[in-house]
Amino acid sequence: MIETFSTRSLEARDKLDYWNDLIGATWSGLVVDPLHPAFEARLSRWQLGELTMSRPTSAAAVVARRMEQHLLPPRQKLLVHIVNSGECRFHQRGRELFLREGDMAVCAAEDYYRFDIQIPHEILIVELDRECLLSRLSDIDDHVARRISGQSLGARMVHRYVQALWEEARSPDGAGVAPTYSSVLADLIAASLDNAEEAGTVAPDPLFRRACEVIDANLCEPELSPSLIASALNVPLRTLQAAAARAETTLGATITARRLQLAARRLRRNPQETITAIAFDCGFTDSAYFARRFQQQFGLSPSQYRSRH
């Protein structure tokens, strides 16, 4: 049965507190900070077998998960977000994704994450146990915080199937939406992730893409700098900086973000390696600076991140 919650009938002074209580109870640690005083929001949710389906709609806001100090729950959750309308920026695990209508991204529910949403929006969310997808896709953690383009076949199929399930659930005989459909949906999600090329954060600008290739090939070099990248590509530094600006970033920020992503992978996959060694191997020359930047990007210290993954 679909449950629906809305701020519409509440006094203006009560709307945000009500919404934060609701959202925090639905997704632990989540907090909403609206960008405009006139805030309205609506949430529909229902259980489909072992999956939880949610459909939040709201005005512009920043939505972020506060980090909690307790240990990870025994059954970790993944949240599959599909932008049904609007657009947003999604931040998790050192990545920043720009998601448009139809795009899909998987979020680790117990990690720090943030959505920056500048316009009214609606998102379709499928919540499921991590083990559910891990049994279908052994490298599921590598697909977290990666954008799957709404133009890809897999994302389109998942989007249409989720929309169809919502329509059936709202129909007079909606009780007939069988829990077995949850297994079909999990199969579709896993297939779409397994077969999709990552759309990522890189803009289609060919020069910036080439710059990112140089960065990825030289991440472990402490001397890597914007001027060295420009020299390697044989282009003026100002031209390369302009290409990065068109991608709404800077070369320095791109270098740091990709180093942090590499460090996070090393922390997950090499539990015996020291954090200092990982920092130096990923191009950082100061372990304290590395720890501060890692905390800013992931909401956890490197040691906390390792213990959770």
Q: Which two tokens stand for residue 118?
A: 């500048």
Instruction: Give the pLDDT score at 199.
Output: 45
C-beta of residue 182 within 8 angstroms of C-beta of residue 133 = no
What is the pLDDT at residue 131? 92
pLDDT for res 202? 42
pLDDT reported for residue 69: 46
- Would you give per-residue pLDDT tens digits along the chain (309 residues)? 789 999 999 999 899 999 999 999 999 889 999 988 888 999 999 998 889 999 999 999 999 987 654 455 667 899 999 999 999 989 887 778 889 999 999 999 988 888 989 889 999 999 999 999 999 998 898 899 899 999 899 999 999 999 999 988 877 766 666 778 899 999 999 999 987 655 444 445 788 888 988 998 898 999 999 999 999 999 999 999 998 888 778 899 889 988 988 898 889 888 889 999 999 999 999 999 999 998 887 777 899 888 877
pLDDT at 174: 62
CB atoms within 10 A of CB 245: 13
Residue 32 has a pLDDT of 92
Q: Tell me the residue type at 24.
A: G
The dihedrals phi and psi of 20, each to the nearest 5 degrees, come to: -65, -35
